[in-house]
Chains A and B, each alone.
Chain A
Amino acid sequence: MDPRIRSEFVTLLGAADVIDDPIRTRTYECDGLTSSRVVPELVLLPRTADDVAGCVRICARHRIPFVARGAGTGLSGGALPVARGVVIGLNRLNRVLEVDPDNRRAVLEPGVTNSEITAAAAPYGLYYAPDPSSQQVCTIGGNVAENSGGAHCLKYGFTTNHVLSIEVVLPDGSQVTLGGDSAEQQGPDLRGVFLGSEGTLGIVTAVTVRLLRTPEVMRTLLADFPSVAAGGQVVSDIVAAGIVPAAVEMMDALAIEAAEGATGAGYSLDTPAALVVELDGTVEECEEQFAQVKEICDRHGCTRLHVAGSPEERANIWRGRKAAFAAVGRISPDYIVQDGVVPRTRLAEVLERIEEMGVAAGLRVANVFHAGDGNLHPLVLFSAAEGQTERAEHLSSQIAELCVEMGGSLSGEHGIGTDKACSMPAMFGEDDLAVMDRVRAGFDPDHICNPGKLLPTPRLCGEKPGRYRPHPLEEAGLIERL
């Protein structure tokens, strides 16, 4: 980094908040996708929204690529630094600015963790609905960037359904508000475009979220089934009965083995599949639907049905489920978490195909997923020490693209990042991707905001983002566009 540019950052933030010591910048070399690492030239740690804007303005002036980063829990490389770029860490913007019970909303800085929002709202009988499994550590800024989900999103929706407005620093350093005080909007929903844009359209500096009233009751059951297919059928029948559960989660034998080993949550070790079903609402509705769910479970050969008898038992069931990813480390030296979505009715079919693909690749695949909305999380287990990395990555990509083949999506909540950008053409046509690139160019004409993420990297060196223009070599007839 040119020392003159570095000194501009130091003037703005103070020397202590501009990190260029190679040992310390290495701390930021990756997010949760640890297989990709790039050490940034500088790490900037602003404390206010104006500081963030100031950092971005310096970047814009010198065309320096920047990557925003929260807790770094992302699993798709969305916060992977860019070589010769800067990382703007947002953890110091971590205040709950306001909880407004009369309007059932909260205003947060981006570094507030997901769990902290509900903790701040709880004294008013309110909570924040989207609940990624990493909610203890992941931040609302990251949730906005990834349009995060979680177990309760089937009924309550995703981050995009709960964010009223965001204050944003655009890639030219200007500060704007997207969205407003109500769901009523003025003109195209730019807030909705920004949500889930994986840090490629700007940096969030404040978020206003809707809060919901804590349900009167929550009933949770854990049910074992003789096969994953039987569990899948239960999910279909619950939905067909007109019941929208707060959550329906499924785990297969490998995932259960890992989760139970790590948490002792009380899962059966000898069952091929287990479902966690949670209903919430008023006492009357919940009791009636809970009886129906139990009957449906019985009808499909449920071998054990355990109803949480206390809030502690309920918490225990969820502790097992939410720890499942990390727990897989107990049964495999290495693993890749995949994240794809299929239409719910194709769950059984896709799980069978994944098993076949795993056998063909000689690798085990554990499954733990949001069955209600078809969001799969196949965990590809492998051993890097035994040279299986490449095979595992290939299998993982194959699974993601299988989801698209089944009429689904490459990602339900983890994002595309750097991890799956190359798979985007499997889901979208060239025109679709080119138009997304034009939208991106509307926000970021100089292509300095988290470049290289989400959309496939320009195929040819020198290609500019935005509308398709022939590359000079194409115009010269020296190369062809494939």
Chain B
Amino acid sequence: MTRAAPTTLRPASAKEVRDAVLDTPGRLAISGAGTARRWAGRPAEPDATIDLSGLSGVITHNPGDMTVSVHAGTPVRELQEQLAEHGQRLALDAARIDRGATVGGLVATADAGPSALVYGGMRDLVIGTTTVLADGTMVRSGGHVIKNVAGYDMAKLMHGSYGTFGPLVEVVLRLHPAPKATACIAIDGPVDAAAGHVQRLMASPLEPIAAEWVSGDPGTLLVRLEGGVDTLPVRTGRLLELLGDGAREIGPEGWARHAALTGGTPGQPDPAQVTVAAGPAGTSATAVAGAGIADPAGSGAADPAAGAVVRIGCAPARLAPLLAGLPATAVTAGLATGVATVTVPGAAVAEVHEAVAAAGGTSVLRDRPDALDAPAWGPAPSALALLKAVKTQLDPEARFAAGRFDPWM
């Protein structure tokens, strides 16, 4: 049977989202800015797509309480601009925010950036959500207070759900003061040397906001500090001393390359030659620039073996050795959080999942060429049956986001 071309619905209010869900039979996909379109499992062909990009803007900002409620389709970049006028921010710096990622999309994909070291990810910043379920039920949880244990924390259920339970329509966020001053310190070296620096840094009282290694030749450790205008230079001096020879203060543009590599445009890994680690006895895991790349235009569609981006999480101390063993062509690694983003040849994705699982970690496929047919997830978690049971309760006909958790469910 030939399926009709999927319709795209663009509701402009929570009620219109609800109507769209109720009035449209069949399988529904949810989209925002489209920055995570290729993430996780490949979405099954839907009967209709609910595009939430029209559901945008701040609903209530309470500067004194440092909370804001927004429509789920609000680009974080725009939100940050409004908050900055009040000296506040959403303490989230996921790479794809610059590409227009929305609040709802960042929650649904459990994304986070380098500052998750201190502030956590979206899960730690969301204090309330409103979601439309498959039967049209509009469910609200949380509220405008940061301390709240009334009822189940449904926002957590939505975090990382990839839309499986339904579209988020409203999100309440806790805010933080914008820092008065920020400094970025860099020191070059391979990942194992960087891991040593980070161990010392985390044992020090210097309170870094982020500590990320970026691959290159030989790679660079970036550390971000935040603080007062007068006091930060003192702390920066202490940090430079701690890191030793080669450490230097650089401008904020140091993070742009980090964001570009983490964003990981498929098929376009880092142009520089990459050394993840100098392995023992000259078995360097150096990869050649452009390895596996057959489509320089970046679509990656021509060659299923072109580069894919995999997100990895494991115990922080295990990360550097794990990375050294992966066929990565580009890496950003939160050596204090244990979270890394690696670009690998498409054909190596399954191998990456296996290596990460063997290190006790978790992994998920992110950006990839459309034609790449690689497993999106590593081994299924022990709670898979539970996850399916909750899914059945909330979306018994499996209408939402089919395919995202393939092959698990």
Any A CB within 8 A of the CB of B279: no
Give the residues from 212 to 257 in chain B that come closer than 8 angstroms, CB to CB, to chain A.
Answer: 227-228, 230-231, 234-235
A104: chain B residues at CB < 8 Å are: 202, 316
Cross-chain contact A432 with B151 (CB below 8 angstroms): yes
Cross-chain contact A183 with B313 (CB below 8 angstroms): yes
Any A CB within 8 A of the CB of B160: yes
B337: chain A residues at CB < 8 Å are: 182-183
Cross-chain contact A181 with B313 (CB below 8 angstroms): yes
Cross-chain contact B382 with A408 (CB below 8 angstroms): no
Any A CB within 8 A of the CB of B355: no
Given A344-B64, A409-B143, CB of A177 within 8 Å of CB of B381: yes
Rounded to whole angstroms, the CA-CA distance of A420 and B386 in the bound complex is: 28
Rounded to whole angstroms, the CA-CA distance of A412 and B145 in the bound complex is: 9
Given A343-B144, A344-B64, CB of A183 within 8 Å of CB of B230: no
Any A CB within 8 A of the CB of B39: no
Rounded to whole angstroms, the CA-CA distance of A424 and B156 in the bound complex is: 20
For residue B158, which residue of chain A has the nearest CB? A188
Cross-chain contact A435 with B133 (CB below 8 angstroms): yes
Cross-chain contact B152 with A373 (CB below 8 angstroms): no
The segment from B24-32, B120-128, B268-276, B324-332 found at the interface with A is: B120-128
Choice from A239, A285, A424, A428 contacting B64 with Cβ under 8 Å: A239
Give the residues from 104 to 121 in chain A that come closer than 8 angstroms, CB to CB, to chain B.
Answer: 104-105
Q: Mark B380-405, 1 if CB is under 8 A from A, else 0.
A: 01110111011111100000000001
Given A181-B338, A244-B177, A442-B393, CB of A341 within 8 Å of CB of B148: yes
Q: Mark A404-443, 1 if CB is under 8 A from B, else 0.
A: 0001111111111000100010011101111110111111
Rounded to whole angstroms, the CA-CA distance of A385 and B186 in the bound complex is: 69
B390: chain A residues at CB < 8 Å are: 188, 190, 439, 442-443
Cross-chain contact A185 with B65 (CB below 8 angstroms): no
Rounded to whole angstroms, the CA-CA distance of A153 and B145 in the bound complex is: 13
Any A CB within 8 A of the CB of B305: no
Cross-chain contact B338 with A190 (CB below 8 angstroms): no
A184: chain B residues at CB < 8 Å are: 110, 311-313, 338-339, 361-362
Any B CB within 8 A of the CB of A136: no
Cross-chain contact A192 with B159 (CB below 8 angstroms): yes
For residue B229, which residue of chain A has the nearest CB? A288
Q: Mark A117-131, 1 if CB is under 8 A from B, else 0.
A: 000000001000000
Any B CB within 8 A of the CB of A460: no
Cross-chain contact A189 with B150 (CB below 8 angstroms): no
Choice from A186, A244, A409 contacting B150 with Cβ under 8 Å: A409
The segment from B48-56, B73-81, B98-106, B203-211 found at the interface with A is: B203-211
Given A188-B160, A196-B149, CB of A182 within 8 Å of CB of B137: no
Cross-chain contact B231 with A284 (CB below 8 angstroms): yes
Cross-chain contact B148 with A157 (CB below 8 angstroms): no
A370: chain B residues at CB < 8 Å are: 147
A409: chain B residues at CB < 8 Å are: 143, 145, 147-150
Give the residues from 31 to 57 in chain B that come closer than 8 angstroms, CB to CB, to chain A.
Answer: none
B6: chain A residues at CB < 8 Å are: none
Given A284-B234, A409-B143, A428-B140, CB of A186 within 8 Å of CB of B148: no
A180: chain B residues at CB < 8 Å are: 313, 360-362
A213: chain B residues at CB < 8 Å are: 202-205
Q: Mark A232-266, 1 if CB is under 8 A from B, else 0.
A: 00001001101110000000000000000000000
Given A281-B207, A407-B144, A442-B390, CB of A146 within 8 Å of CB of B154: no
Most chain B beta carbons < 10 A, residue from A158, A189, A289: A189
B178: chain A residues at CB < 8 Å are: 242
Rounded to whole angstroms, the CA-CA distance of A175 and B381 in the bound complex is: 12
Q: Mark B11-30, 1 if CB is under 8 A from A, else 0.
A: 00000000000000000000
Rounded to whole angstroms, the CA-CA distance of A316 and B63 in the bound complex is: 34
Any A CB within 8 A of the CB of B260: no
Cross-chain contact B314 with A182 (CB below 8 angstroms): yes
Choice from B165, B339, B360 contacting A183 with Cβ under 8 Å: B339
Choice from B146, B227, B230, B316 contacting A373 with Cβ under 8 Å: B146
Which 3 residue pairs are nearest across A and B when measured between Cβ atoms? A184-B313, A192-B156, A182-B313
A-B contact pairs, 30 of them (CB 8 A): A103-B315, A146-B149, A147-B149, A149-B147, A157-B120, A180-B361, A180-B362, A184-B110, A185-B313, A192-B157, A193-B152, A215-B205, A236-B64, A239-B66, A244-B176, A282-B206, A343-B62, A343-B65, A370-B147, A373-B146, A374-B65, A374-B145, A408-B143, A427-B150, A431-B139, A435-B133, A439-B157, A442-B394, A443-B386, A443-B390
Q: A370-B147, A424-B150 are in contact. List 20 more A-B contacts (CB 8 A).
A: A102-B199, A153-B147, A176-B386, A181-B361, A182-B361, A183-B116, A187-B408, A242-B87, A242-B178, A282-B205, A285-B235, A289-B228, A412-B145, A428-B151, A431-B138, A436-B141, A438-B393, A442-B389, A442-B393, A443-B386
